[in-house]
Amino acid sequence: MEVIDQWVAEFFLLRQHNPRASPINLISALKLGDSSDCIKLKISSVLRDISNSLIRGTIDEGMLDLLEILEKLLLQQHSLLMDSHKSAYCWTATECTLRFMWPMFASDGLFTDALERIWTKRIGILKESGSDLVTCDLLKWESDLKKALGDPELYQRIRETNIRYTAISFLTQLLKEQWALLGSSSLESVAQRRFLKRKAVNVEGDVVDNRGDQSDVDESTRRFGSDTIDIANEARGEREDGNGIGRDNANDGEGMECLENDGIDNVNAADEEHTVSAQDQEHEPSLDKGDEMAARELKEYLVEIQGHIDPSTRQGEEPNSAIDHSVDVTPPPTRVNRTGTGCQDHNEASDNVNEKGSDSQETWSSRVRPRRPTPVTLSVSPLKKGGLAKPHVRRPKKFWKPEEVEALREGVKEYGKSWKDIKNGNPTVFAERTEVDLKDKWRNLVGG
DNA sequence: ATAGGGGTACTA
DNA sequence: TAGTACCCCTAT
Nearest-angstrom CA–CA distance, A234 and A59: 40
Interatomic CA–C1' length for residue A433 and nucleotide C3, angstroms: 24
Where in the sequence is the domain holding A433, given as residue range(s)?
402-445
The domain tally of chain A equals: 1
The answer to whether position A337 is within a domain reads no
Residue pair A218/A232 in contact (Cβ under 8 Å)? The answer is yes
Residue A140 DSSP code: H
Biggest CA–CA distance in chain A, Å, is 82
CB A230 within 8 A of CB A218: no
∠ CA A189-A77-A310, rounded to 5°: 45
- A217-249 confidence digits (pLDDT tens): 333 333 333 333 333 333 333 333 333 333 333
Whether residue A302 lies inside any domain: the answer is no
Residue A263 lies in a domain: no
pLDDT along chain A (448 residues), means of 10: 62 58 67 75 86 86 93 88 91 91 73 91 93 91 89 83 85 87 68 70 49 37 35 33 33 34 35 36 42 55 48 34 30 31 31 32 34 33 37 81 92 92 90 93 87
A388 CA to B7 C1', in Å?
22
Domain-located, residue A437? yes
User: How far from chain centre, in Å, is Cα A175?
Assistant: 4
Q: Please name which of A52, A40, A35 lies closest in space to residue A10, comparing C-alpha atoms.
A: A40
Q: Which of residues 332 to 391 on A have a Cβ less than 7 angstroms from any strand C atom? A: 383, 385, 391
The answer to whether residues A54 and A176 touch, using CB atoms and an 8 Å cutoff, is no
**pLDDT, position A299:** 57
Q: Is A412 domain-assigned?
A: yes
Q: What angle do CA A435, A437, A438 make, to 5 degrees?
A: 65
DSSP H helix total and E strand total for chain A? 20, 0
Statement: the CB of A401 is under 7 Å from strand C:
no
How confident is the model over A184-206, as pLDDT tens digits?
666 666 666 776 777 666 655 44
d(CA A61, CA A118): 8
| A314 falls within a domain | no
Q: Does residue A78 reach within 7 angstroms of strand C, measured from its CB?
A: no
Answer positive or negative: Cα dihedral of A215, A216, A221, A223: positive
Q: What is the pLDDT of residue A317?
A: 29
In a domain, A364, yes or no: no
Please state the length of chain A.
Answer: 448
- Whether A52 maps to a domain, the answer reads no
Look at residue A251 in the predicted model and tell me its pLDDT. 35
By C-alpha distance, which of A266, A262, A235, A230 is closest to A249?
A: A230
